[in-house]
Structure 1
Amino acid sequence: MRRVDELREQTVWKSDPHTQVKHLVYRHYLQCWMGKILQTFPEATIVDAFAGPGVYTDGPPGSPIVVAKTFLEHTAYRRFNKLNLVCLEERTDRVEELRRQFAKLSPSPQLNISVQAPGVFAEQQPRLSTLAHRGRAETPVLWLIDPFDLKSAPFSLIRRCLADPRDEVLFTLFTNELHRFCQRENFDKTMTPYFGGTHWQSAVPERRGRREAFATAYQQGLKDQELFTGGFGIKVSNQSARYHLVLATHSEAGLKCWAPVTWKLDHYSGQGASAETAGALSLFDEASVVDRLDVALRAYAGTAQRWETLSSQAARLNHMDKHLRQVLDKLAAQGLAFRVDPVRARTAWPEGCTVRFYAPEDVADEAS
């Protein structure tokens, strides 16, 4: 049976390597998100909008169970406040199976699991938002949106999930389908609502990098909404990404959780992982590509910048403070970056320090 037929006809279907990579991203991001959010706020909510049956025929757990187990097995679990896990699935048979899977977990007074009656996410989103926020706009809500097709999650729906100040979305972007079908007649009627505009057209002329260009265009649409965003490609072996995971958040703190995940799974560029390599979690590669960060820091020539500003710039470019220090070391060796405050410190670039930047011409031989 073809994969598409399995998804359409069967209650439970077999897992695939790409799903496991995606769930690995979920787990790593949730480790950080839970560690920060659930020790800061009295409660928070995760909404799995396309929850599925919670298990695969060959044994691995589905995304709702991945979320619950990440919570229950977290090293900081005993210090956590309340987490509400809200799950929506369209099919009755899958809802019943999901409830059976949750029943196998040990109950926790800190984890409130709510499997909703079968429903379509586009129709149920306003009600779910009210349920998730518990009457408080400040309640952090993380939406996991992993639909089966493009039409189930138009940009307008994603934007509604980001209506409140502590909403975040982790969204599966079908870049392979976009690449394959973008030039079909009348497909623009699907593409434009999916992207929330016609900016997707800029990616069409691309050939080899069209999938990545679609991901970039989608993220630009989020940035235009004054949101912070990160992306990560889920690849098939050494080929182009089958789809991308896109994070959208109101807070730069979300990027601080996102960057370590992407660099952990892709040691070279932090932008995509294959099913073959994602499980090899080694230390971060010291030779990681940091060219964009290098260029960004050089642009500060003639100014002094606080660490907070530099760390923020690194996060926006999907880099960690580790990479920031790496580039600062390089610039310092060239005489282009100096720590001016504090004068004494145990490390070269401590948090809270001030760094002054210079241009190459400032350190040329003829300079006085």
Structure 2
Amino acid sequence: MGRVDELRTQTVWKSDPHTQVKHLVYRHYLQCWMAKILQKFPEATIVDCFAGPGVYTDGLAGSPIVVANTFLEHTANERFGRLNLICLEERSDRVEELQRQVAKLPRSPKLNVQVQPPGTFAEQQPRLSALAHRPRANVPVLWLIDPFALKSAPFALIRQCLVGPRDEVLFTLFTNELHRFCERENFDKTMTPYFGGDHWRPAATADRRAWRRKEAFSSAYQDGLKAHGLFTSSFGVEISSQSARYHLILATHNEAGLKCWAPMAWKLDSYSGQGASADSLDALTLFGEEAVESRLDAALRDYAGTEQRWETLSSQATRLNYMDKHLRQSLTSLASKGLAFRVNPVVARTDWPEGCTVRFYAPEDLIDEAS
């Protein structure tokens, strides 16, 4: 039986390598998200909108169980507030299996798992949103949206999950399907609502190489989110170290929401922080860390002729999916070339302390015209 038939007909199906990578992304991101959110707020909610049966035939836990176990096993759990985990699944047989899997979890007064009656995401989203934000509107809510098909999660529906000031979305973008079918006749009728506009069209025609076009679609989707004032980043789940099978897209209202994404990305992809496959997770880069800072270096070079505060530089690094350690590496590299200079404080324990001010120069500034 093929993969598509398996997903369509069976209650429980076998996992695949992409699932392993996706769940690692979830686990690493949630480790940080829970530590930040559940130690600050008395309550938070995670909504798994396509929860599935909670288990695979080969024994791998499904996403709701991954979330629950991440909470239960977290080293800071004793200091956590309450976590509400709301699970929605369309098929009744899978709901029943999910209930069985949830029943096996260790009991905790701080973990409230709510398996909803069978229903579709499109129909149930308003009710889920009301449920997720109780008892107060500012409850942090993380939406996990991992649909089976493009039509199940149009952009308008994703936007509805981001109306709350502390709503975040972690969404599976089907870049492989977008690449394969974008030029098919009438497929634009699927693409446009999926992206929430026609801004996908340049990505479909600019470069038809698979990896280029998939990355372009990921960027286009993020541009649609940014147009609504959201902060966003992505991580490619790859096929045996080739181009991405799909991209996991994070959307958040606050730049601070990206602070958990970059550590996850760099942990799973130590070379670029942009994507991984099951067979590349433990692979060592052949090039050390030299190439890691290329995009960040370019962004910092654009500050030539100006002075910038650390907060501005750290924000720039975060938006490019880098961490402060990468920022410091880039600054050290530029300083060794005479292109960056710390002007304040004059004396410090480290080269690039938080709160410092950095002056940037262009290569031509270093030319001695008298020589």
- TM-score category of the 2 structures, normalised to the smaller one: over 0.9
> Which piece of structure 1 moves more, 358-367 or 49-58?
358-367
Distance in 2 of aligned mates of 1:212 and 1:292: 15
- Give 1:244's aligned residue: 247
2:225 aligns with one of 222, 226, 230: 222
Is contact 2:241–2:276 with CA below 8 Å preserved after alignment? no
The SS at the match of 1:247 is: strand
Q: What per-residue deviation string (whole Å, max 9, x for no partner) do you get for residues 313-364 of structure 1?
A: 0010111111100110011111121112222222111112111212222222
- Give 1:319's aligned residue: 322
Do the aligned partners of residues 306 and 151 (structure 1) sit closer, same or farther apart at CA in structure 2, a change above 3 Å counting? Answer: same
Q: What per-residue deviation string (whole Å, max 9, x for no partner) do you get for residues 129-184 of structure 1?
A: 11111142211100000000000000000000011111100000011111111111
Q: How does 1:219-298 map to 2 (within 5 A)?
A: 219-279=222-282, 285-298=288-301
The SS at the match of 2:329 is: helix
**What percent identity do the matched residue pairs reach?**
77
Q: What number of residue pairs does the alignment pair up?
A: 367
- Give 2:359's aligned residue: 356
> Which piece of structure 1 moves more, 17-26 or 201-210?
201-210
Deviation at 1:238, TM superposition (A): 2.7
Q: TM-score, normalised by structure 1?
A: 0.97
1:303 aligns with one of 278, 302, 306: 306
Is contact 2:192–2:198 with CA below 8 Å preserved after alignment? yes
Is contact 2:150–2:194 with CA below 8 Å preserved after alignment? yes
The SS at the match of 1:30 is: helix
Deviation at 1:203, TM superposition (A): 1.2
Is contact 1:176–1:243 with CA below 8 Å preserved after alignment? yes
Deviation at 1:365, TM superposition (A): 1.6
- Give 1:93's aligned residue: 93
Is contact 1:361–1:367 with CA below 8 Å preserved after alignment? no
Q: What per-residue deviation string (whole Å, max 9, x for no partner) do you get for residues 98-157 of structure 1?
A: 111111111111111111111111111111111111142211100000000000000000
- Give 2:332's aligned residue: 329
Structure 2 counterpart of 1:241, one-letter code: A
Q: How does 1:70-109 map to 2 (within 5 A)?
A: 70-109=70-109
Structure 2 counterpart of 1:228, one-letter code: F
- Give 1:192's aligned residue: 192
- Give 1:118's aligned residue: 118
The SS at the match of 1:39 is: coil
Structure 2 counterpart of 1:325, one-letter code: R
Distance in 1 of aligned mates of 2:284 and 2:10: 34
Distance in 1 of aligned mates of 2:291 and 2:76: 30
Distance in 2 of aligned mates of 1:215 and 1:305: 30
- Give 1:12's aligned residue: 12
Distance in 1 of aligned mates of 2:49 and 2:100: 18
- Give 1:46's aligned residue: 46
Do the aligned partners of residues 179 and 29 (structure 1) sit closer, same or farther apart at CA in structure 2, a change above 3 Å counting? Answer: same
The SS at the match of 1:290 is: helix
Deviation at 1:6, TM superposition (A): 0.7
- Give 2:31's aligned residue: 31
Distance in 1 of aligned mates of 2:110 and 2:147: 28
- Give 2:67's aligned residue: 67
Is contact 1:15–1:56 with CA below 8 Å preserved after alignment? yes
Do the aligned partners of residues 7 and 43 (structure 1) sit closer, same or farther apart at CA in structure 2, a change above 3 Å counting? Answer: same
Deviation at 1:279, TM superposition (A): 4.6
> Which piece of structure 1 moves more, 322-331 or 235-244?
235-244
The SS at the match of 1:204 is: helix
Structure 2 counterpart of 1:38, one-letter code: L
Q: TM-score, normalised by structure 2?
A: 0.96
Is contact 1:265–1:281 with CA below 8 Å preserved after alignment? no
Is contact 1:267–1:285 with CA below 8 Å preserved after alignment? no
The SS at the match of 1:138 is: coil
Do the aligned partners of residues 213 and 348 (structure 1) sit closer, same or farther apart at CA in structure 2, a change above 3 Å counting? Answer: same
Distance in 1 of aligned mates of 2:311 and 2:44: 27
Root-mean-square deviation (Å):
1.6
Structure 2 counterpart of 1:207, one-letter code: R
Distance in 1 of aligned mates of 2:282 and 2:80: 28
- Give 1:207's aligned residue: 208
